[in-house]
Amino acid sequence: MHGKTIFTTVSLAAVAAAFPTTRLLEPAKRAVADQYTFFQGDGSAAAGWPSIDNWGSYHELWNANAPLMRQSCGWNGWGADNSEQEISAINSAIQQVSGQTGVDSRFILAVIMQESKGCVRAPTTNNGVVNPGLMQSHNGVGTCAGVNPCPAETILQMVIDGTAGTASGDGLQQTFARASSDLGDWGARAFYAAARLYNSGSVDYNNLNNGFTSTMCYAADVANRLTGWTLAPTGCF
């Protein structure tokens, strides 16, 4: 989320490094592929970015990411790994909030994995803006940093904060509305631009890898997550 530049470029950069370089011993079986393509340009299919038809189903993407959620807290030194109850609560929260806001559940899941790798105990940062929880929301109230177990209602609040937005800042619902209106496009390109806005607060619609002061490849990362990327090397340069 914008307002957490230092966290994005330093703290969460450590998350990717903390993932094993080898695959999990029992990877989830899925039709989507764990691979990374360095997408460049404006987010359009003409520029080589995946269309919504190329995204995995929610079921496929959930099954690809659930094994990571079981280990990501420990990998990053953020406390106890998610319990099965906490993971189930994440799943339920995504689907509930998707239904309430109209935001695609796959997009919510992809941003959760991008922001916190699905660890309910992800730390809160404050670099001028407080960014807590699964989606590192803009001054949200939902957080379980240092809390075990994490209550289901708090997990739901984290997803609400990041998706529906807060009194202080936009969530995915607002960034998608802005991007789709600006572009006159309600397809995949608008989702990728919305991801850019969510991370940096600004967007160059001709170059979604312009991170301003935030993560350069954030939109490209989200696009890859929507097609199944989990542990493969990023290929971002």
Residues 6+ apart with CB under 8 A from 59: none
Domain presence at residue 178 = yes
* Domain hosting residue 141, numbered range: 5-13+36-226
State residue 177's pLDDT score.
98
User: Hunting for tokens 């450590």 — which residue is that?
Assistant: 14
Instruction: DSSP for 2-29, please give it.
Output: TT-HHIIIIITHHHHHHS-SS--SSPPP
Domain presence at residue 88 = yes
Domain presence at residue 23 = no
- Alpha carbon distance 195, 197 (integer Å): 5
Q: Is the peptide bond before 149 cis (omega within 30 degrees of 0)?
A: yes
- Alpha carbon distance 182, 103 (integer Å): 17
| Among 109, 112, 116, CA closest to 63 | 109
Partners of 130 in the beta sheet? 126
* Overall number of domains in the chain: 1
- Alpha carbon distance 48, 189 (integer Å): 11
- Alpha carbon distance 168, 42 (integer Å): 28
Domain presence at residue 22 = no
State residue 128's pLDDT score.
78
Domain presence at residue 236 = no
Whether the full predicted model's pTM is greater than 0.85, yes or no, is yes
* Tens of pLDDT, residue by residue, the chain (237 residues): 655 433 332 233 333 334 443 333 334 444 699 999 999 999 999 999 999 999 999 999 999 999 999 999 999 999 999 999 999 999 999 999 999 999 999 999 999 999 999 999 999 988 778 999 999 999 999 999 999 999 999 999 999 999 999 999 999 999 999 999 999 999 999 999 999 999 999 999 999 999 998 999 999 999 999 999 999 999 887
Could you tell me the CATH number of the domain that includes residue 170? 1.10.530
Domain presence at residue 25 = no
Domain presence at residue 232 = no
3-state secondary structure of 164: helix
Domain presence at residue 214 = yes
